[in-house]
A and B are shown apart, each in its own frame.
Chain A
Amino acid sequence: MNPKLSRRELLRQGATFIAIGIAAPGWLARLATADAQRAHKGQRAPNDRILVVVQLSGGNDGLNTVIPYTEALYKQLRPTLAIPESEVVPLNERIGLHPAFAKVKPLIEAGQFAIIQGVGYPNPNRSHFRSMEIWQTANPDKVEGTGWLGRYLDTLPESERNPLIGIALGRENPVAMNGQKVSVPCVASLEDFKSLAGEEAEALRAVYAIQEQKTAPVRTATLKALDAAEMIRAKLGQYRSAVEYPRTPFAQALQQIAQLIAANTGTRVFYCSTGGFDTHAQQARTHATLLQNVAEGLSAFWADLQAMGKADKVLVLAFSEFGRRVAENGSAGTDHGAAAPMFAIGKKIQAGLLGEHPSLQNLQDGDLRYHIDFRSVYAAVLEDWLGADSQAVLGGKFNKVSLILSPATLP
């Protein structure tokens, strides 16, 4: 039997039986063995919940996203940038949304969208790059080579680690997804990946049949690409989206995630980014467009997941590296700030406003003070959604925010 065909065939069948040719890659054999053993012992399948992390790069102006629209100080400190009360989309009598973010309101009303207010960390760093690193590695105290999601993936039993266990959309590998043991493929476009298969892939595998320390990172990346491409090719069915996605790169990335979720690739964590939030000057229009793209992209994605019946398996978590200065600067923009809201979408979450909006009176160097440590949000996601040991992943105990309504049980 042609080993190439048998491997592909196996993948199609969901890799559920043991008899695997020797040419099958290690991960495939592992998966098949684990599945078979579980079935044999009558155990249930492992936790199959999915986390989608959305990074808003540049420092989203949280204060103009989730707005304390009745506060006099808001209007005073933002003479040109304050969103007029008449335009704010109210959530209650004090807090409302930027009109460009209004698309999420129906999701809030449906109990599926949460706004976690005033999130940050001690001694806020106002460098984009350091602060982003802090959020991704979950370590404000020192520079770390692994990220919180990578460390989470490390905790999964080897039997669950397939080549697509985590996927970073795009051509950059976020440190968040680096583990000690696990590193995940970056996927710029599913179409490109699909071309990496067949004879070409076999030849490349043969060229890379070497053992050399120095070139190991390249070998790892290439073999990861080949494994991922093969699995994507085998799994990707005739996905057809039920909803129309906006034509932004962000929405297109989300659509690729939806396509992978539809294909049951076994992926536990997806990571994608969208940038442009560093609005130092003349920000009003730019920020409105950014918020609109985020809201429209996310709501299309969520509608798609609902239509395919996968929404109850997915949690979306969105963050930015910091918020922006409360007082606007002289160029109708805002400089780097501190605390800001995070967003979550899911069917089993405490929706609406969580926590208090940070005070505009009690500022720290002109910036909003945090009252929820971002690691408390991570801890809730890790424990209550993914069923993981948050202390092991975060390197410390953090009080979970009450975000997830039906906590995961460990398999």
Chain B
Amino acid sequence: MTERERIAHLLRRAGLGASKGEVDYYLRLGYRGAVEALLDYEKIPEDYTDLLRRLQGDSPQVRPPHAKMWWIFRLLTTRRPLQERMVLFWHNHFATSASKVPRAELMILQNETFRRLALGSFRDMLLAVSRDPAMLLWLDNHLNRKGKPNENYARELLELFTMGIGNYTEQDVKEAARAFTGWTLRPRAGFQFVPAQHDDGEKVFLGQRGNFDGTDIIDILVKHPKTAEYICTKLFRFFAYDNPEPAVVRALTRTYFDSGYHIGAVVKQILLSEAFLSSRAVRSMVKCPMDFVVGTLRCLGVGQWLLTALQAETLPQPALAILRFADQSMQRMEMSLFYPPSVKGWDWGTAWINSATMTERIRFADTLANPRTLGRGIVALLSNPSFVPADVDDEQLLNRLCEVLDASLSTQTQQNILKIVRTTAGSADRSAKTSLMLRLVCASAEYQFM
């Protein structure tokens, strides 16, 4: 791989797509420098303080569609792509659905917690999540009281958030539930510990005995080798590939402990590993709907355009239309942000692909390339002679388009597309050709991978 290809791979996996502009930018830093720059995002100023209010418009309340557009706007425009990708990782890991959280602000609050602690200590993250209002409501811990505990949070904490299934007993679930009694909410004021509702009796948890409360449980969990293995494996799979070699996971768990449960250290090690840059990793992962939609739009310069639109006094209608389109498209591809299908999060990899979701990916490509609808600006942009000189042939046009979209098509697919372009009536003029090519590239099999 050339350095450029390595940087593009890094941006596909640790960023939000390899737009030409971003590849150019990070290429100057070299691979290691690019990894460090992505991780060290705090140095990049970013200000979205007014965004939510502007998306809200005249609505007195924040509603779920506002929250969704708010996050999608950030995904499309951020200069801290690794931070946003980590927010998605945590949203999937501590999967909380707005379907059971009555106030959308609480979903945003949780999302901001994920963002704030994205690459920090896993212990801090677990503590924050255990006190997070949306989580308390989602898994009913706000009603977990001494005497007759509610097991919902404790079970998922063990099964999905830390150790993974098969490493604890039903009794451990019950004891952990007792430890989290009294971790509740005060209306409109957030987390509250209510001693009267807390069972401060002795518990036996994972072989240890004590008058544990929730913090003690988290301390036991975060130190457990199974937790290290579980979280490191999940991070590796998120960035690189499934079924990592045991030696790779072992090296990561060492870093997890040596760094004091520091997620940033583990992520850095993944991104600098040989495994990450191996042929097993490159272009082998199915794009999740976020990558498919946001990655495509970022490559086409929609993010830049949205940032310009934000400077206007009121957000222009086309900007809102793009955000809605992105949200609805992802939703139809089975990834509705803030609405994971269950507390387990989404199934990744080839699970994203079935006949219903492919139908939606094809539909997305159609809309994007349709000059009569949303695609008007995009097709015009791509048809501009400054993008490709007017006298190029079909093959050059297709190559240029693939370059912009960071698409790597097989020779066969390229030939197939060129043949369709040749034989399709009404695609003689440049913009019709561009539109047809854009549609077919995005719908192609290769384009579903990153």
**CB of B199 to closest CB in A, whole Å:** 10
- A333: B residues at CB distance < 8 A: 140, 143, 150
Report B405 CB to chain A, min CB distance, Å: 15
Do B356 and A186 touch (CB < 8 A)?
yes
Which A residues from 41 to 83 make CB contacts under 8 A with B? 57
CB distance from A333 to the nearest CB of B (A): 7
- Does B440 contact A207, Cβ atoms closer than 8 Å? yes
Most buried by B among A171, A219, A275, A282: A171
Is B350 touching A207 in the complex (CB atoms < 8 A)?
A: no
The reply to whether the CB of A285 lies closer than 8 angstroms to some CB of chain B is: no
Which B residues touch A172, using CB under 8 A?
A: 334, 341, 347, 351, 354
Contacts A207-B417, A329-B149, A330-B150 given; indicate if A214 touches B449 (C-beta within 8 A).
yes
Is there an interface contact between B359 and A193, defined as CB atoms closer than 8 Å? yes
By a CB distance below 8 angstroms, the chain A residues around B155 are 126-127, 335-336
Task: Using CB atoms and an 8 Å cutoff, list the residues of chain A in contact with chain B.
Answer: 57, 126-130, 168, 170-173, 185-188, 192-193, 195-196, 200, 203-204, 206-212, 214-215, 217-219, 221-222, 224-225, 228-229, 275, 278, 280-282, 327-331, 333, 335-336, 365
Q: How far is the CA of A214 from the CA of B363 in the complex (A)?
A: 23
* B150 pairs with A331, CB closer than 8 A: yes
Closest 8 CB pairs of A and B: A330-B148, A331-B143, A225-B355, A215-B445, A186-B356, A185-B355, A281-B140, A280-B152
Contacts of B446 in A (CB 8 A): 212, 215
Interface centre among B143, B343, B359 (most CB of A within 10 A): B359
Contact of B362 with A331 in the complex, beta carbons under 8 Å: no
In the assembled complex, which residues on chain B have CB atoms less than 8 Å from the CB atom of A212? 410, 412, 445-446
Measured between beta carbons, the chain A residues less than 8 angstroms from B443 are 204, 207, 222
A330 contact set on B, CB distance < 8 A:
143-150
B58 surroundings in chain A (CB, below 8 A): none
- A335 and B151 contact, Cβ closer than 8 Å, known pairs A130-B165, A173-B351, A215-B449: yes
Measured as residues with beta carbon below 8 angstroms from the partner, the interface class of chain B is 35 or more
Residue of B nearest to A125 (CB): B165
Contacts of B170 in A (CB 8 A): 126, 365
Nearest CB of chain A from residue B58's CB, rounded to whole Å:
29
Closest beta carbon of chain A to B175's beta carbon, Å: 14
For residue B416, CB closer than 8 A to chain A, the reply is: yes
Q: A-side binding surface: helix, strand, loop or mixed?
A: loop
Q: How far is the CA of A172 from the CA of B332 in the complex (A)?
A: 11
B99 (CB) vs chain A CBs: closest residue: A276
B128 at the interface (CB under 8 A from A): no
Q: Does B56 contact A (CB under 8 A)?
A: no
B445 partner residues in chain A, CB cutoff 8 A: 207-208, 210, 212, 215, 218-219, 222
User: Shortest Cβ distance from A323 into chain B, in angstroms?
Assistant: 15
Closest CB of chain A to B340's CB: distance in Å?
Answer: 12
B320 to chain A, nearest CB (A): 24
**B259 part of interface (Cβ distance < 8 Å):** no
- B147 touching A206 by the CB < 8 A rule? no
Q: Which single member of B347, B351, B353 contacts A218 (CB below 8 Å)?
A: B353
CB closest residue in chain B, given A170: B356
Write out the residue numbers on chain A whose beta carbons fall within 8 Å of the beta carbon of B113: none
Counting CB contacts under 8 A, is B396 at the interface?
no
Question: B354-385, CB under 8 A of A: which get 1 and which 0?
Answer: 11111110110010000000000000000000
Q: Give min CB distance, A277 to chain B, whole Å.
A: 11
Q: Do residues A329 and B150 form an inter-chain contact, with CB atoms below 8 A? A: yes
Query: B70: shortest Cβ distance to chain A, in Å?
Result: 24
How far is A228 from B358 in the complex, measured between Cα atoms in Å? 13
Q: Is the CB of B355 within 8 A of A186?
A: yes
Q: How far is the CA of A271 from the CA of B420 in the complex (A)?
A: 37
Complex interface: chain B residues within 8 A of A215 (CB)? 445-446, 448-449
Q: Provide the residues of chain B in CB contact with A128, threshold 8 Å.
A: 342-344
A132 to B143, CA, bound (A): 26
B284 contacts A by Cβ under 8 Å: yes
Q: Which residues of B contact A207 (CB under 8 A)?
A: 413, 416-417, 420, 440, 443-445
Return the CB mask of B190-218 against A: 1 if under 8 Å, else 0. 00000000000000000000000000000
> Which residue on chain A has the smallest CB distance to residue B351?
A173
B419 lies within 8 A of chain A by Cβ? yes
A335 to chain B, nearest CB (A): 4
CB contacts (< 8 Å) of B140 on chain A: these are 280-281, 331, 333
Return A282 CB to nearest CB of chain B, in Å.
7
Contacts of B148 in A (CB 8 A): 327-331
B424 contacts A by Cβ under 8 Å: yes
Please name all residues of chain A whose beta carbon is closer than 8 Å to the beta carbon of B440 when the two chains form the complex.
203-204, 207
Q: Give the complex CA separation of A218 and B333 in angstroms.
A: 14
Given A206-B416, A215-B445, A330-B150, A221:B165 Cβ within 8 A: no
Q: B356 near A187 (CB under 8 angstroms)?
A: yes
Flag if B353 contacts A331 (CB, 8 Å).
no
Is B159's CB within 8 Å of the partner chain A?
A: yes
B448 & A331 in contact (Cβ 8 Å cutoff): no
B346 to chain A, nearest CB (A): 10
Instruction: Report which of A129, A208, A222, A331 forms a contact with B355, defined as CB distance below 8 A.
Output: A222
CB neighbours (8 Å) of B444 from chain A are 207-208
Q: By CB atoms of chain B within 10 A, which of A218, A281, A330 has the most?
A: A218
Closest to A203 in B: B420
Contact A221 B143 (CB under 8 A): no
* Structural contact, B356 and A171, CB atoms closer than 8 A: yes
A224 to B362, CA, bound (A): 13
The smallest beta-carbon distance between A278 and chain B, in angstroms, is 8
Q: How far is the CA of A329 from the CA of B152 in the complex (A)?
A: 11
- A229–B362 Cα distance when bound, in Å, is 13
A360 to chain B, nearest CB (A): 18
Whether A210 lies near B416 (C-beta < 8 A) is yes
Residues of chain B within 8 A (CB-CB) of A186 are: 354-357
In angstroms, how far is the closest chain B Cβ from the Cβ of A56? Answer: 14
A289: min CB distance to chain B, Å: 14
Q: Are A280 and B150 in contact (CB under 8 A)?
A: yes
Q: Is the CB of A173 within 8 A of B150?
A: no
A336 to B343, CA, bound (A): 14
Q: Tell me the chain B residues, 389-447 only, with Cβ under 8 Å from chain A.
A: 410, 412-413, 416-417, 419-420, 424, 440, 443-446
Which residues of B have CB within 8 Å of A193? 359
The complex places the Cα of A186 from the Cα of B350 at a distance, in Å, of 14
CA distance A341 to B153 in the complex (A): 26
User: Known contacts A129-B159, A186-B354, A329-B148; can you find 13 more A-B pairs with CB under 8 A?
Assistant: A129-B165, A172-B351, A173-B351, A186-B357, A187-B356, A196-B362, A207-B416, A214-B284, A215-B448, A218-B353, A221-B355, A221-B357, A330-B146
